Structure 1
Amino acid sequence: MLAPVRDRTALADLEREITVPGSGLDRLRLVETPFVPEVRLHLAEDAIVWWARMEAAAGHPLPPPFWASAWAGGQALARHLLDHPELVAGRRVLDLAAGSGLVAIAAALAGADQVVANDIDPYAVAAVTVNARANRVLVTVSADDLLDSTVTADLLVAGDILYDAALAERVLPFLQRAAAGGAEVLVGDPGRGHLPTGRLEVVASYYPVPTTEPSVDSPVRRVQVLRPA
């Protein structure tokens, strides 16, 4: 996991990209999310091309723009919350590694009392800000690394967070601690191979879930929504 990057220009950069969009593959567009059309997101036409241009302009490396694509795990989890608003209605929700803010926005639309979207990438925090604004919902943003902290939420949601073995080693104990502390925990996972045997149980399964993530072997995935067993 990347260390937090404190960059106050991220929001200004995204607002400029939105206000004066390009015409090529490196532009951001406000579009309906494929599996969750109730939510509109500012997504990159091609996240890799956008990333290359932004790094060249910045003159230094930037975190991969995971927020600029609609990942299957987050889409299925957002769909699950919107289809089951009783999971979030009147509750405090924390969206861990929020990326674009899709799941957080879905929680807000489904009637959550309070929604916090957390991500250590400043551009993801900025993306949550502009995407919540586009969907006219209130989402509080947090850029802190929370994995060694205590959860103070009724519902913890994490879409497509187990994409890396080292990250999964940190995330899974955090999810277990959150559940043991009384939080309901829901994870959206498209089968990236880092699920621990017997520690998570399936709540729902969605197929086909389209994805806009770059460099994939299939444009659709099967996604499970899981909770700690």
Structure 2
Amino acid sequence: MRILSSALALALMTTAASAADLISAGVVEVAMTDEVASWSGCYVGASLGYAAQTTATVLAAGYYDGGSHVAEGFNVGGRVGCDVQLGEMVLGVVGTIELTDLSGSNAFYPVGPGFPEYTTTETSAIATIKGRLGYLVDPALLLYGTGGLAVIRNRHTDYDTTPVMSFNGSVEDTRVGYVVGLGAEYAVADGWSVFAEYNYVDFGQKDLTLVDGVIYPGNWVNRYDNTAHAFAVGLNFRF
């Protein structure tokens, strides 16, 4: 009987010790998971994406509707930002810059058939500064929205083939507008995360003076209305 009691006591002690070890391991695991999934801090990142900018043109700032075209292409960019995690909410700010090769054009006929006029848009860079508000649907998965300011660098050309008053002018312009977007970011491990996001950008209308010093001896004022849609995927490193 004494031997049975001793064996039972030893088994209970062993079970209790094992349970304590499991609890301790669980606590350590939770702590490590929380540490890995912490979203507070700053980060740098890189992205690849696609963008499409719509340009609507009004010739002579109201004289004639020049139609519209889409300048589209791929871009590569970098970003830097900082976040603060408050429970399941994440607040932050992020700045981005993307080098692009967007280009597009359209033809129209202000005089009549046989004498087309062409307008073209080329985009070399887009930059943004945005606030970010996100919600953690999982310790490692952040869904977020953004909003802020955007800056774009465009080159517009206008080529009129009408014999009497042929014109071939261009202008480079830096525009400021607003940007809103949605995205998702997933924490992988050791400070690394992957993300995907969409942004809508509106630069409004602006009258620009195109200069032609060769064919047409004067300047030409066109009104440009620009909006853009941009998609990006990328990788962040948080430190």
TM-score range, shorter chain: under 0.3
TM-score scaled by length of structure 2: 0.20
- Structure with greater proportional strand content: 2
TM-score scaled by length of structure 1: 0.21
**Structure number with larger C-alpha Rg:** 2
